[in-house]
């Protein structure tokens, strides 16, 4: 086993990049080889705080000047394909933030580039590593509450995208809710239920008072293998500043209810009068889950361990988002295997 630190070149020092900096800083055996941000003021501010870390304003220069084992890409998604080309040309594995791209054909190209270069590609679906997500997955797979029949996933938030610490591009992009936020939720539905999505019927829209230029509401009916039906609703333009979250799964012999974003899981058998809360490991959301994702990526690069959040797997979640958008545009349900075949996406990874 290698005792050398695993060296990561981090690209992007914005809202999420600052979190990643802390995650890497806390991880034994993982070190930053350098950082890149095209914004000179951001790069200079980082350099002042971290005088020992090489700081660059161009990816090409950073790739040439640093010795790295992998790149962590935390830039807005519209630049991911061009940046990935440079990273793979330099022969480096890549952990890229979600969404992999804002265009499905670009994402297919990016995953192909990694495959051709035989380089690992992972995507930042960190919420899969929350203890609450792992536990839902185990409960469903374990079958102690019977067969899952239907689920209801509700995420209601009034997200003020103008706040200084939040990224600004979602205010003007197309489908900010679907591609920035619902993508995590649809990925969790795939991951926790561990069965393929067969079809999606969706509406996306923008309430009149929305701060976003494009649709900040998503409602989907998903049909999963085995007759499991899931009703999803998400908004960034709720009429109340209090965040409301609930993910309830009804099974043949009970229910599983996640009552808070990131935590608070409870179960009941059909005849119970109360829900019973389940104990979960402590977790600081965005940090501990990202650290687990990072360790999984490093384990894959170093030892060939299973890559749970691979680029090829992410293509299926991204395809689900774009199939949902197509459904909203046509008013018809979209059959996911047919949609993936049409876009050259493999459903088994």
Ligand X SMILES: NC(=O)c1ccc[n+]([C@@H]2O[C@H](COP(=O)([O-])OP(=O)(O)OC[C@H]3O[C@@H](n4cnc5c(N)ncnc54)[C@H](O)[C@@H]3O)[C@@H](O)[C@H]2O)c1
Interacting residues with ligand X (CB under 6 A): 11-17, 36-39, 42, 59, 74-77, 79, 83, 97-98, 124, 126, 167, 169, 180, 286
The CB-of-16 to ligand X minimum distance in angstroms stands at: 3
Q: Which is nearer to ligand X, 38 or 211 (CB)?
A: 38
Q: Which is nearer to ligand X, 250 or 313 (CB)?
A: 313
The CB-of-195 to ligand X minimum distance in angstroms stands at: 24
Q: Which is nearer to ligand X, 75 or 206 (CB)?
A: 75
The CB-of-237 to ligand X minimum distance in angstroms stands at: 18
Q: Which is nearer to ligand X, 199 or 296 (CB)?
A: 296
The CB-of-20 to ligand X minimum distance in angstroms stands at: 8
The CB-of-188 to ligand X minimum distance in angstroms stands at: 12
Q: Which is nearer to ligand X, 185 or 334 (CB)?
A: 185
The residue at minimum Cβ distance from ligand X is 14
Task: Give the torsion sign (CA, 44, 45, 48, 49).
Answer: negative
Q: Which is nearer to ligand X, 110 or 251 (CB)?
A: 110
The CB-of-12 to ligand X minimum distance in angstroms stands at: 4
């Amino acid at each position: 086993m290698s005792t050398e630190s695993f060296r990561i070149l981090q690209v992007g020092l914005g809202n999420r990049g600052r979190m990643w900096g802390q995650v890497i800083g806390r991880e034994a055996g993982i070190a930053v080889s350098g950082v890149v941000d095209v914004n000179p003021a951001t790069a200079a501010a980082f350099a002042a705080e971290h005088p020992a870390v090489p700081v660059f304003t161009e990816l090409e220069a950073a790739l040439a000047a640093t010795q790295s084992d992998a790149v962590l890409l935390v830039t807005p998604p519209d630049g991911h394909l061009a940046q990935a080309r440079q990273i793979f040309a330099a022969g480096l594995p890549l952990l890229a933030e979600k969404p992999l791209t804002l265009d499905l054909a670009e994402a297919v190209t990016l995953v192909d580039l990694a495959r051709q270069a035989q380089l690992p590609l992972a995507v930042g679906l960190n919420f899969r590593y929350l203890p609450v997500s792992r536990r839902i997955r185990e409960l469903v797979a374990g079958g102690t509450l019977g067969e899952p029949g239907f689920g209801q996933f509700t995420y209601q938030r009034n997200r003020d995208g103008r706040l200084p610490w939040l990224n600004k591009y979602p205010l003007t992009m197309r489908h900010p809710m679907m591609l920035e936020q619902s993508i995590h939720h649809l990925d969790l539905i795939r991951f926790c239920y561990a069965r393929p999505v067969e079809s999606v019927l969706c509406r996306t829209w923008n309430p009149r008072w929305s701060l976003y230029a494009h649709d900040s509401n998503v409602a989907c009916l998903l049909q999963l293998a085995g007759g499991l039906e899931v009703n999803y609703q998400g908004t960034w333009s709720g009429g109340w500043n209090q965040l409301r979250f609930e993910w309830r799964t009804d099974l043949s012999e009970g229910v599983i209810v996640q009552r808070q974003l990131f935590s608070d899981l409870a179960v009941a058998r059909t005849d119970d009068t109360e829900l019973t809360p389940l104990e979960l490991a402590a977790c600081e959301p965005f940090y501990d889950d990202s650290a687990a994702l990072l360790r999984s990526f490093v384990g894959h690069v170093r030892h060939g361990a299973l890559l749970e959040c691979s680029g090829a797997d992410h293509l299926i979640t991204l395809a689900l988002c774009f199939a949902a958008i197509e459904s909203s545009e046509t008013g018809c349900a979209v059959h996911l295997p047919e949609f993936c075949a049409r876009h050259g996406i493999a459903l088994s990874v």
